Amino acid sequence: MRVLIPSALRSYTGTDWVHATGDTVAAVLVDLERQYPGIRFRMIDEQGRIRRHIRLFRRQQMVFDLAARLEDGDELLIVQALSGG
């Protein structure tokens, strides 16, 4: 499946779109970590939760559960929220 990588994490991948495999969001993130070591920790915290500044989207819907199922043809969009003041 195609995965959109936010600009802040492209130093890991070198490109904005990558391919990863898995039937759940968690499995796709594990595959991304296999291909690009260190990238998963930037998205998932020590308790296994999605970090506050990361948003994951599938079919234009935000994903809150890493166990969410993915289907053939899905794209996973990883978006990094901006903060500041």
- With CA atoms as reference, report the closest residue to 6 among 62, 72, 53, 46: 53
Q: What is the largest CA-CA distance in the chain?
A: 40
Checking if the pLDDT of 84 tops 80, the result is no
What tokens does 69 get?
A: 């199922």
What tokens does 15 get?
A: 């490109």
The pLDDT confidence band at residue 52, using thresholds 50, 70 and 90, is very high
Domain 2-80 classification at class level: alpha beta
Instruction: Write down the pLDDT at residue 72.
Output: 87
Question: pLDDT tens, 11-31?
Answer: 999 999 999 999 999 999 999
Checking if the pLDDT of 3 tops 90, the result is yes
The pLDDT confidence band at residue 71, using thresholds 50, 70 and 90, is very high
